[in-house]
């Protein structure tokens, strides 16, 4: 559905996007993750045909953004990181304007607008002025706009930025709904944990280069990073270190005797956790709780992106 071939953008002597290569299959949900200034917006703008690549190309369903930008526009729904202000425009007028820009026949527009408003939960705001909407509502309206022409590929540049926790959850639910419609989605964020369980694959960009890509599982493998498992143990805590030190994939064991917990860093897959636990239980260590440390994904992100931009 989307192929990036050595996609590059230079601003004077700054290379904002540096020979990106990427392949997205239909239905894939790709999380495009990177710190501020990494080149996410620049990449997405090139895909949205708003910026011309300095070098390389991107193909949307086989159509080149360089050679056929007009044709690409009908295939994509683009949600920018910040969108313009529209004074004196009502919600339905805003959508009607874009629907006509997408050359949707007048007689179809009204029911179509009803559909996208229902999907984004904005029906009650149909006759409100755009400037009266809250930020979260504006963001949903913008998403509604990208869906009007039913494009197979959505390019969403930080759709959840600036939203409160509830609005973020609502935005996620909305995106999950879109995922079920079979659309291919590229979504950017600087928070890996926010996208990890939602995306089929993720790519981490830093200083214009893709430093890792694949499933979260594959990235952990590629980069040789470790996972951290937090264990809660009611008896046998003193034996944990001896047992686990024998295991090749275990990198570190930190025991907190007072709390009755233990943090195990290991370089394996999630599935290997079962083997580690079996070993402990067989040795009489009473493990009552085991979970992957939530801060792990943040740590992964910090280690993969070594602060090159800063």
Ligand X SMILES: Nc1ncnc2c1ncn2[C@@H]1O[C@H](COP(=O)(O)OP(=O)(O)OP(=O)(O)O)[C@@H](O)[C@H]1O
Toward ligand X, which CB reaches closer, 11 or 270? 11
Span interacting with ligand X, options 39-47, 59-67, 91-99, 242-250, rule CB under 6 A: 39-47
Site for ligand X in 190-219 (CB under 6 A): 190
SS3 263: strand
- Using the structure block, give the residue that is written with the tokens 């290997």: 272
SS3 301: helix
Out of ligand X, Mg ion, none, which partner does residue 121 contact, by CB within 5 to 8 A per kind? none
Whole-angstrom distance, CA of residue 101 vs CA of residue 286: 65
The answer to the question of residue 189 lying near ligand X (CB under 6 A) is no
Toward ligand X, which CB reaches closer, 13 or 197? 13
Is 43 exposed, middle or buried, given 0-12, 13-18 or 19+ CB atoms closer than 10 A?
buried
Toward ligand X, which CB reaches closer, 38 or 65? 38
The answer to the question of residue 14 lying near ligand X (CB under 6 A) is yes
Figure out which of the listed residues 8, 41, 146, 226 binds Mg ion, where binding follows CB under 5 A.
41
- Using the structure block, give the residue that is written with the tokens 């030190």: 245
Minimum Å gap between C-beta 40 and Mg ion is 5
Span interacting with Mg ion, options 4-12, 40-48, 95-103, 141-149, rule CB under 5 A: 40-48
DSSP letters for 177-246: HHHHTT-EEEEEES-HHHHHTT-SEEEEEETTEEEEEE-HHHHHHHHT--EEEEEEEEE-HHHHHHHHHT
Minimum Å gap between C-beta 81 and Mg ion is 5
The answer to the question of residue 19 lying near ligand X (CB under 6 A) is no
Toward ligand X, which CB reaches closer, 213 or 226? 213
Whole-angstrom distance, CA of residue 275 vs CA of residue 134: 50
Span interacting with ligand X, options 34-42, 110-118, 127-135, 293-301, rule CB under 6 A: 34-42
Q: Which two tokens stand for residue 25?
A: 């299959």
- What is the sign, positive or negative, of the torsion defined by CA atoms of 156, 179, 183, 39? positive
Span interacting with ligand X, options 33-41, 56-64, 217-225, 268-276, rule CB under 6 A: 33-41
Q: Which parts of this chain interact with ligand X (CB under 6 A)?
A: 11, 14, 16, 34, 36-42, 81, 190
């Amino acid at each position: 559905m989307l192929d990036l071939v050595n996609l590059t953008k230079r601003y004077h002597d700054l290379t904002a996007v540096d020979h990106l290569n990427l392949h997205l299959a239909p239905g894939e949900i790709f999380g495009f993750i990177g710190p501020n200034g990494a080149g996410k917006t620049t990449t997405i703008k090139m895909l949205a045909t708003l910026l011309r690549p300095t070098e390389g190309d991107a193909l949307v369903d086989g159509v080149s953004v360089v050679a056929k930008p007009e044709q690409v526009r009908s295939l994509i729904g683009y949600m920018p990181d910040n969108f313009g202000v529209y004074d004196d425009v009502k919600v339905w007028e805003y959508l009607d304007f874009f629907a006509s820009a997408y050359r949707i026949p007048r007689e179809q527009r009204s029911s179509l607008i009803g559909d996208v408003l229902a999907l984004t939960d904005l029906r009650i705001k149909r006759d409100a002025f755009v400037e009266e909407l809250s930020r979260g509502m504006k963001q949903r309206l913008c998403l509604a706009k990208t869906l009007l022409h039913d494009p197979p590929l959505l390019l969403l540049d930080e759709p959840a930025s600036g939203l409160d926790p509830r609005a973020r959850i609502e935005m996620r639910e909305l995106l999950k709904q879109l995922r079920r419609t079979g659309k291919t989605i590229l979504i950017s964020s600087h928070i890996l944990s926010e996208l990890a369980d939602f995306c089929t694959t993720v790519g981490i960009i830093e200083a214009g280069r893709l430093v890792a890509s694949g499933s979260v599982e594959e990235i952990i493998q590629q980069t040789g990073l470790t996972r951290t498992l937090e264990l809660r143990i009611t008896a046998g805590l003193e034996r944990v270190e001896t047992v686990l030190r024998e295991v090749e994939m275990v990198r570190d064991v930190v025991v907190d005797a007072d709390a009755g917990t233990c943090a195990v860093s290991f370089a394996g897959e999630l599935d290997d956790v079962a083997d580690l636990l079996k070993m402990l239980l067989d040795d009489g260590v009473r493990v009552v709780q085991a979970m992957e440390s939530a801060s792990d994904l943040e740590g992964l992100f910090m280690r993969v992106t070594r602060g090159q931009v800063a």
